[in-house]
């Protein structure tokens, strides 16, 4: 199999845009990855079998275009064309991009930073020092740097969302992997991207809207970070006139951080719903569905023999499904529910929300396994996501008679259109639940 690399010297592009270009190249039957030439990225390419001799010479400010397959030359040419045209279709879609913070115009007050983790902290610091709120999409930022950046943000009265913050909705504007939801009076603080998406979409489908959805990064409620930005975001929503209610979403925080959050809730005048997935505390909502106050109107029944296999694009949706299954008495092993967006599956490859075909192989395997009775899936749409993830699932599952249960995280106003995605799945024989939690409950009942 031919492996080709091409280097663009001194070239930068948004990492999500690069992943989307890689997805376009993949349609031509090649494996592809576009990465900045940092040592860690070159190690990922080598591990994925995509690093050629030319790519080894790339510097940290270079872009490596790596392809493998029979049509590698054509893929390189297409990559150059897409990079030249700027048709990378960045998530969120309608905000401007800049090559550096120095080119950000006066009057703009929030920047999205999506650069290799080795450089993200420096860019975030520059943004904060210029008085800009910053959303750091990048991951692999040392936790000590995160603490220092958040302390600087607090000192300057700014928000530092992230690192590894994939979703936000600020004043009605979806940023990165977010959905088209109506404006409303509910503010969300979330250490989970897909958690924020699921709750905001369930609220939208209930006729309610969002004032702001503030992502804080998955480590914010750890002992080391201490909930710095979660607490600051709660204060910001408390001061926001357009916010009447606050929802906080996270996996269980460190005990010391949980105490801080509870003390903060007692001091706020606005009602606060705490959804800390997996927490033993009865006062916390146990599912995203409960956090949104969403009650499914439809009921579904299925019957199957065997185990439940879950293949998820959203890590929090996977965690929520595991919690629901356990509560229902269906206790799959750790290997039966898989988060395909975890680092072990995405090294050198696009995230499955961008390229859900990464799930095709595991899905085909699960459908063939005799011991698997039910396959449980999530389908996440919205800005930045694949244009037709349901279609990719339907192409596989319509070939089998096995019970497949899914939910769609999205709204009618999303580019993919919620109802169209639901119909595509239903036409292929998939049971489509109204929420991720309901899908898990149906799966548990099916194998009971």
pLDDT at 349 (0 to 100) = 67
For domain 101-292, give the CATH number.
3.40.50.261
Mean pLDDT, residues 38-61 taken together: 88
pLDDT at 57 (0 to 100) = 94
Cα distance between residue 283 and residue 20, in whole Å = 41
For 422, left (φ over 0), alpha (ψ -120 to 50), or beta? alpha
Q: Which of 177, 194, 184, 212 is nearest to 414 (CA)?
A: 177
Handedness of CA 344, 345, 346, 351 (dihedral sign): negative
Q: Which of 17, 38, 60 is nearest to 350 (CA)?
A: 17
Phi, psi angle pair for 414, to nearest 5°: -70, 155
Mean pLDDT, residues 236-260 taken together: 93
Mean pLDDT, residues 26-48 taken together: 86
Phi, psi angle pair for 34, to nearest 5°: -120, 120
Q: Which of 312, 319, 378 is nearest to 339 (CA)?
A: 312
Q: Residue written as tokens 């990719």?
A: 392
Read out DSSP for 57-100? T--TTSEEEEEESTTHHHHHHHHHHHHHHT----TT-SS---SS
> Under a CB-based contact definition with an 8 Å cutoff, are residues 368 and 399 in contact?
no
- Residue 42, SS3 per DSSP: helix
pLDDT at 106 (0 to 100) = 52
pLDDT band at 405 (very low <50, low <70, confident <90, very high): very high
Mean pLDDT, residues 192-198 taken together: 96
pLDDT at 91 (0 to 100) = 42
Mean pLDDT, residues 358-380 taken together: 93
Cis amide prior to 163 (ω within 30 degrees):
yes
Mean pLDDT, residues 355-373 taken together: 90
pLDDT > 90: percent of the chain: 65
- Residue 53, SS3 per DSSP: helix
Strand partners, 68: 3, 31
101-292 and 307-446: identical CATH topology: yes
All structural domains of the chain with their residue ranges: 3-85, 101-292, 307-446
Instruction: Please check the confidence at residue 3 and state whether its pLDDT lies above 60.
Output: yes
Mean residue pLDDT of the chain comes to 89
List, edge to edge, every strand of the sheet that includes 167-170.
173-176, 167-170, 210-215, 183-190, 245-250, 272-276
Mean pLDDT, residues 406-418 taken together: 97
> Under a CB-based contact definition with an 8 Å cutoff, are residues 17 and 90 in contact?
yes
Helix 228-239 × helix 255-267 angle, to 10°: 10
pLDDT at 281 (0 to 100) = 73
Cα distance between residue 56 and residue 35, in whole Å = 12
Task: Spell out the long-range contacts of 121-124 with Cβ–Cβ below 8 A and sequence spacing 24 or more.
Answer: 121/145, 121/146, 121/148, 121/149, 121/163, 124/149, 124/160, 124/162, 124/163
Q: 347 or 55: which carries more pLDDT confidence? A: 55
Q: 99 or 238: which carries more pLDDT confidence? A: 238
> 307-446, superfamily in CATH?
Succinyl-CoA synthetase domains (3.40.50.261)
Q: Residue written as tokens 């702001």?
A: 212
Per-residue pLDDT reduced to its tens digit, 298-345: 999 899 988 999 999 999 999 999 999 998 988 655 458 999 988 777
pLDDT at 104 (0 to 100) = 46
The structure tokens listed for 19 are 């992943």
327-347 burial string, b = 16+ CB within 10 Å, else e? ebebebeeebbbbbbeeeebe
Cα distance between residue 91 and residue 384, in whole Å = 4
Instruction: Please check the confidence at residue 103 and state whether its pLDDT lies above 50.
Output: no
């Amino acid at each position: 199999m031919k492996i080709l690399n091409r280097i663009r010297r001194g070239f930068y592009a948004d990492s999500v845009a690069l992943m989307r270009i890689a997805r376009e190249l993949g349609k031509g039957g090649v494996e592809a990855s576009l990465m900045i030439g940092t040592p860690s990225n070159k190690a990922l390419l080598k591990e994925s079998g995509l690093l050629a001799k030319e790519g080894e010479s790339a510097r940290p400010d270079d872009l490596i275009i790596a392809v493998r397959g029979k049509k590698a030359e054509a893929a390189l040419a297409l990559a150059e064309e897409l990079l030249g045209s700027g048709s990378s279709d960045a998530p969120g879609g309608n905000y401007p991009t800049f090559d550096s913070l120095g080119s950000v115009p006066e009057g703009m007050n929030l920047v999205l930073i999506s650069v290799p983790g080795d450089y993200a902290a420096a860019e975030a610091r520059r943004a904060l020092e210029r008085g800009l709120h910053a959303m750091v999409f990048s991951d692999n930022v040392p936790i000590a740097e995160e603490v220092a950046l958040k302390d600087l943000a607090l000192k300057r009265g700014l928000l530092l969302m992230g690192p590894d913050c994939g979703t936000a909705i600020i004043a009605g504007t979806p940023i990165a992997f977010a959905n088209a939801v109506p404006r409303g009076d509910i503010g969300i603080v979330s250490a989970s991207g897909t958690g924020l998406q699921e709750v905001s979409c369930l609220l939208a489908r209930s006729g309610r809207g969002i004032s702001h959805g503030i992502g804080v990064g998955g480590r914010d409620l750890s002992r080391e970070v201490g909930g710095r930005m979660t607490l600051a975001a709660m204060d910001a929503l408390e001061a926001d006139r357009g916010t009447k209610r606050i929802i906080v979403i996270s996996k269980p925080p460190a005990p010391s951080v949980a105490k801080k959050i509870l003390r903060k809730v007692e001091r706020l005048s606005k009602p606060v719903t705490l959804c800390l997935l997996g927490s033993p505390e009865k006062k916390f909502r146990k599912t995203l569905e409960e956090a949104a106050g969403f009650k499914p109107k439809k009921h579904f029944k299925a019957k199957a023999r065997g185990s439940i296999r879950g293949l998820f694009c959203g890590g929090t949706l996977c965690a929520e499904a595991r919690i629901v299954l356990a509560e229902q008495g269906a206790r799959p092993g750790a290997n039966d529910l898989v988060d395909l967006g975890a680092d072990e599956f995405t090294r050198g490859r696009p995230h499955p929300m961008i390229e859900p075909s990464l799930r095709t192989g595991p899905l085909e395997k699960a459908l063939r396994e005799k011991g698997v009775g039910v396959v449980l899936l999530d389908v996440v749409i919205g800005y930045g996501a694949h244009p037709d993830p349901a279609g990719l699932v339907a192409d596989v599952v319509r070939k089998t008679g096995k019970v497949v249960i899914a939910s769609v995280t999205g709204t009618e106003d999303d580019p993919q259109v919620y109802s169209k995605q639901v119909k595509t799945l239903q036409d292929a024989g998939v049971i489509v639940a109204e929420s991720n939690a309901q899908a898990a409950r149906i799966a548990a009942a099916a194998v009971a």
